[in-house]
């Protein structure tokens, strides 16, 4: 099955001030929930009978998204031998 792959390229912002911008947050678009395959529910059993259950992973929405956090820090000095 085909998959959609998105690539994130990260560059520090120009005139970066770590005091002013210690972190950035990026929210992704919604992706189909891998547990319920985007349906928002799945079939299960309830007292021996088949029943629809809301997906606990996506809370029944059928969608998942990611919040990506980028923390900017100063680099480490390498010691010269």
The pLDDT of 9-35, averaged and rounded, is 80
Residue 79 has pLDDT above 70, yes or no: yes
What CA–CA distance (Å, rounded) separates 70 from 67?
A: 10
Q: Map out the domains of the chain as residue ranges.
A: 32-71
Is the distance from CB of 44 to CB of 55 less than 8 angstroms? Answer: no
Question: Which pLDDT score, from 0 to 100, does residue 34 have?
Answer: 92
Instruction: Express each pLDDT in 6-21 by its tens digit.
Output: 777 888 777 767 667 6
pLDDT single digits (tens) 38-60: 999 998 877 778 889 999 999 99
The CA distance from 3 to 5, in Å, is 6
């Amino acid at each position: 099955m085909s998959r959609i792959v998105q690539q994130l390229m990260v560059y520090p912002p120009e005139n970066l001030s770590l005091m002013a911008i210690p972190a950035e947050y990026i929210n992704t678009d919604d992706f189909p929930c891998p547990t319920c395959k985007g349906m928002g529910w799945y079939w299960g059993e309830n007292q021996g009978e088949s029943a629809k259950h809301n997906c606990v992973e996506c809370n029944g929405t059928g969608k998942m998204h990611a919040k990506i956090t980028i923390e900017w820090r100063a680099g480490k000095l390498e010691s010269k031998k």
